[in-house]
Structures are given as structure tokens and as C-alpha cells.
Amino acid sequence: MNSRNNQAIDWDLINQYRTLLGHDGLNDSIAMLQRVMPDYVVELKAAVVARDERTTRSQAHKIKGSCRSLGLMRVGEVMAWLEKEQWQWQEVDETVAAWPAQFEQDSALLTQG
């Protein structure tokens, strides 16, 4: 594992889950996150298109928590920025457009780890 992967994933948390849930339990949790995330992103994108800052921040909070709960730190950090920091809509448009690919890449690391 390279250092980039270590920054993307909280492997200590993942190993704790693996100990508690077993390999199958952890994989089931990862699969569930991968199934629900597209719907979460659709809701986020709709809020961004509507330029609804309150809902955008709220949805980012929801996504952040979901990601961080399974050790996806890098993609969770992006959502933390969207939730809490000052930004311009153009930045949000670019971030939300790029985020799903990063989520897919980082969540795939979980199943390989």
C-alpha cells in the first residue's frame, strides 16, 4: 500500500471493523455504502443545480458521515469542505462533478484492502 492510499483510507478503523464484523460483515457494509451513495449524490447534485446552499451543505454532511464511518477519509474531507467552508458555486460544481469518480476509486480500495 502506498502513502496515498493510507491518506485516502483509515486502515486502522477498517481493521477494527474487520475484527468486529468479520471479513463478510465488513464487505456487506462497504457494499451497502456503494449501493446508497448514488442516490445521495443525486440529491446533492439536485441541491447544487438549484443553488440551494442549505440543502447542499446538509447533504454534504450526510455524505461525509457515511464515508467517514467506513474509513473513507479523503472523500469525506471533500464533503467536510463543502459542508463547512466558504465556497463559490463554480467550485462546488467542479467538486461535485469530480467527486463520484474519487469515491469509486477510494471505495474500491476498501474491497482490496
pLDDT of residue 85: 97
pTM exceeds 0.75 for this model: yes
Lookup: cell for 75: 472523500
The pLDDT value given to residue 31 = 94
**Rounded CA separation 56/45 (Å):** 8
Supply the angle between the helices 89-112 and 73-84 in degrees, to the nearest 10: 160
Q: Please, is 106 exposed, middle or buried when counting C-beta atoms within 10 Å of its C-beta (0-12, 13-18, 19+)? A: buried
Vertex 6 angle, CA 111 and 63, to 5°: 65
What is the reported pLDDT for 28? Answer: 94
pLDDT on residue 111: 82
CA atoms within 13 A on the CB side of 81: 13
Provide the pLDDT for residue 5.
Answer: 45
Fold of 3-112: Four Helix Bundle (Hemerythrin (Met), subunit A) (1.20.120)
Q: What is the pLDDT of residue 7?
A: 84
pLDDT in the model for residue 81: 97
DSSP, res 10:
-
Which residues in the chain come in under a pLDDT of 50?
1-6
Q: What is the pLDDT of residue 3?
A: 37
